[in-house]
Structure formats: structure tokens, C-alpha cells
Structure 1
Amino acid sequence: MTALEQPAILTPSQAREVFRTGEVPETTSGWCRGYVQANLLAVPRDLAFDALLFAVRNPRPCPLLEVTDPGDPLVHDVATADLRTDLPAYRVYEHGRLVAEVPDVTEYWRDDLVGLLFGCSFTFEAALAAAGVPLRHVEQGRNVPMYVTSRPCRPAGRLAGPLVVSMRPVPPDLVRTAAEVTARHPAAHGAPVHAGDPAELGIASLDRPDFGDAVTAEPGDVPVFWACGVTPQAVVMASEPPFVITHSPGRMLITDRSDETLTP
């Protein structure tokens, strides 16, 4: 049985070793159960203050976990990891346009890049499952669906753009449970930002996510939306900075921190 067939029981270091071999899963949801996952935004030093200020002003989509020194690709606080190689897949943007999606960004890494790591909602999924909340995307073997909304984030310097949300269909009698469970994980986006009609977020159709995969809801399920760490990518596309590296949506850095260390 391969690592991709039993990813939940891997340690974070084992998972990162798998990713360094070039093996790219559809999603890291369900990998390394009990460990914090993180979104990546790597920007040139001259944009780093704006990126940091953006995170401070928008903590729901961008709960900050760590910031690296300029040019240093190594993570020191939340993991012993290399930002160039230890995620499953990356996106490279130039002037807001996606120019590459690759399993390794060593050739793209620059001496002036600052890495920012943000919490991820995959972190609270084990707690949702333990509380009896079904995870439809996991059941269906899909990446979680993510949508660009009509809600603007607070701008910071040269960075401005819309909020992105992830969506999980939840049985109506478990919506309150899902909200209470995830509220205990503010470093993983916390409680939902909306439950119910997607049109209130400016989402025209749940069948056409902007990132990730559409999932099939069970009859009666309520769409529940959480702020998402792909928000910086929507902001990059809207703001068009010259050069940025991010994670590929749904394919995260798996850290060495346990979920409990980020729960108040």
C-alpha cells in the first residue's frame, strides 16, 4: 500500500519526504491527522510589509503562523521544512497571472523572497469528523471547493482583493456543531463566515468553484462557508504584483505542530 493510500497515519516529516519525491496528491485534506496544515505566500522583500499588514488586517482568511527571513527558504517555528520542496505543488504568478504550477520551486526561488505561512481549514477537519460532522469532499475523494466572493478584504498598501471561502455541505442539525467546533480553531480560520444561500456571498453556482472541486451534497445539506487561505491568491490576481509564489490550492505545507497547540 502506498503513502497516498494511507496518508492519515503518516508523520509530517514522512509526508514532506513523499512530496520531495515529486508525488502530488489531489489534496492534503486528511493527511497526517492531528497536525496543522498551512497556506504559503512568498513575496519579494519590497512587498513583504504590505503582505504582513494585509494578514494583520484580515486575520480570518490569513491567520499568520510564521514569517521567514528574506531569501531563507527554511521554516523554523512550525516545522523543519524547506519552502522550495516540501509542499506537494506550487503556483508561480507574474503580474497577477499564473505562469507555472510545479511540484518544486527551487528554480524560481529568489534571494529576496519572504515566506508567510497562514493557517488552513484542513486543520480543523479531524475535530469536525470527531464531532460527527461529515466531510463530503473527503468521502468523495475530492479537493474542497473554494469560491471567490463579492466581499472585499481590507486593503493593505499595494494589496487589495476579494475574500475567498471554502465550502463544506453540512446536515442542518449539525451546522451549529460545525460552527462551535471550528470557532475553537481561530488559527485555522475559526468559525464560518456564512451558512446558507451562496448568493449572499456573490457566489452564482456551487457547481463551479473557482478553486478545488465541486462536491455533491446530500439532500437537506446546508452549504457552510469558511474564510480560506487561498484569499491571498485572489488578491495577487487582483493586485498584479510582479512576482509571487504560493501553494497550489488544497495542497498545503504540513507542519510539525499538533492541532492542539493552536487551540486556545
Structure 2
Amino acid sequence: MAFDPGSAAHLVRLEARSGALSGPTANLAPGFVQANLAIMPRELAYDFLLFCQRNPKPCPLIGVSDAGAPLIEALGHDLDIRTDVPRYRVWENGKLVAEPEDITGIWRDDLVTFAIGCSFSFEEALLAANVPVRHIEDDTNVPMYRTSIEAVPAGVFSGPLVVSMRPMKPEDAIKAVQITSRFPSVHGAPVHIGDPSTIGVKDIFEPDYGDAVRIENGEVPVFWACGVTPQAAIAQASPAFSITHAPGHMLVTDLVNAALTI
């Protein structure tokens, strides 16, 4: 597949590579697909692939690398997994030990990268339909929560479903369901609308990841399955070594959102 070397997505990756960009990527390079990352040793790759297959809502795969390869050619021009994400997370024995902006120094020849669709990709369609997206309005990271819903286990991987939340007026929530249903490769339709306690979220203003956002009178919280779910599964599986993106800090690919619609 031929990609435009001067695309907005490529420019975002170059900013991340240079260190000029270290913050969240929501609403950057509109029109281009963003991806969550899970990077782990080859010995765990089959279990994780099976985990993604069994949990397609939170873990819709859009690319997998060869072992040791720092790129996924199908996702972009001049793309380097080790440098092109604004911020990473490094895990050892299930514990978060670092949040670097570059993982070149810790890269290994046995690492396999999984790229997972991200809900930031369908936000372009929401905005085009005049459905407000609060964290974009307020220039914050999207709020994300661990729920009481268990993902389907696979091998060593199991854990809670993580969701992202966007508050909306009921009429906008209906539009959002219709719009995001057309994007199954980036989480698709919401998994829950309304009372957060129903899915085990105790305090909507205390997200487990990202930033809290204001919820105005008459709005309801709308929850989507989230690609941070693998981070919860990694923490529970406690592999000796793994790497993910920092929540909200995505790999911006050269794929276009329009190509993912059904």
C-alpha cells in the first residue's frame, strides 16, 4: 500500500520521534486511524493474539509485527514502533516501572507488537455529525475506567474490561450509537449508557486512566470498550517484561478512518 510521506499522520509521528510531542493524541491528524499498542515477547504472543480474538470489542487488531521488527508496514510510511508514540509504558512482572518517550534502548529481537484500534478514530465522525466530544472541547485526555465486566480469558491473559467515557445529551448518545456502530475496527458501538455503577464504576469523576471531564445537566455518560484493556490484562498476567502506549498517547497511522467503516 502506498502512503503519502507528507501526511498529517506522518508529521505527528515525526513530532513524537523528535520529542516535540509528548502529550495525548486526541484530535491530532483528523482522518487518520490511531492505534493502541501492546508489545511483548514472542513466547506470549499466541496467548495475546487469542485474547484479542476472544475480545474483539476492546481489542480490535489492526496490525501485528514480526518478532523483533520495529515497524508494521501495513500501518504507515516511515513508521518506527520504538520512537513514534508520544509516551510509552514499560512493565516488569506486571508492575509499571517507567513511562519513557522512546523505547529504542530497551528494544529486543523477540518483541512482537500488536496494534489495536482506538476510539479516537471514530471521534472525527462524531464531530462531523455535530456530536460534541468533551475531552476534545476541554483539551484533556479521555477518561477511562476499569469495570466489573470480565474479559474472556486466553492463556495467561485475563482481567477487567476497560472503558472510555464521553458525556452526551440523550439525543447525541443516540446519534453516537448509530455512528460508531459503523466502526467495529475501532471498538464500534458503546457497551453501556447511563448509570456507571451498573458496570462497576464507583466514581465517574475519578477515572482509573486519563482525566475527569465535566458532565453537564441533562447529559448521560456513554461508555465504549477501550484499548487500555490489554494493560489491565498485562498487569494481571504479570509477564517479566512488556511495553504498551501510555493511555491516550497513541500511534497515529497512515490508514484513513473512512476505510474502516462498514
Same fold? TM cut 0.5: yes
CA distance in 2, matches of 1:145, 1:25: 18
**Pairing of 1:20-39 with structure 2 (within 5 A):** 20-39=17-36
In the alignment, what sits opposite 2:4? none
Shift of 1:57: 0.3
In the alignment, what sits opposite 1:57? 54
Shift of 1:182: 0.4
Provide the TM-score with structure 1 as the length reference: 0.95
Q: Alpha carbon RMSD of aligned pairs, Å?
A: 1.1
CA distance in 1, matches of 2:214, 2:22: 20
Out of 10, 14, 32, which is 1:13 matched to? 10
In the alignment, what sits opposite 1:138? 136
CA distance in 2, matches of 1:211, 1:154: 22
Deviates more, 1:232-241 or 1:23-32: 23-32
Q: Percent identity?
A: 53
| Residue segments in structure 2 that go unaligned for 5+ positions in a row | 1-6
Out of 235, 238, 246, which is 1:237 matched to? 235
**Pairing of 1:222-261 with structure 2 (within 5 A):** 222-261=220-259
In the alignment, what sits opposite 2:192? 194
In the alignment, what sits opposite 1:112? 110
Letter in 2 for 1:223: P
8 A contact 2:90–2:98 mirrored in 1: yes
Shift of 1:59: 0.3
CA distance in 2, matches of 1:232, 1:251: 15
Provide the TM-score with structure 2 as the length reference: 0.96
| Residue segments in structure 1 that go unaligned for 5+ positions in a row | 1-9
Secondary structure of the residue aligned to 1:147 is strand
CA distance in 1, matches of 2:94, 2:191: 26
CA offsets 1:198-230 (integer angstroms, 9 cap, x no match): 001100001110000000012111100000000
After the TM superposition, which segments of 4 or more aligned residues of structure 1 sit over 4 Å from their partners? none
Shift of 1:26: 2.9
**Pairing of 1:62-211 with structure 2 (within 5 A):** 62-80=59-77, 81-211=79-209
8 A contact 1:24–1:103 mirrored in 2: no
8 A contact 1:26–1:142 mirrored in 2: no
CA distance in 1, matches of 2:30, 2:118: 13
CA distance in 2, matches of 1:26, 1:82: 18
8 A contact 2:34–2:252 mirrored in 1: yes
Shift of 1:131: 1.0
| Number of residue equivalences | 256
Secondary structure of the residue aligned to 2:104 is coil
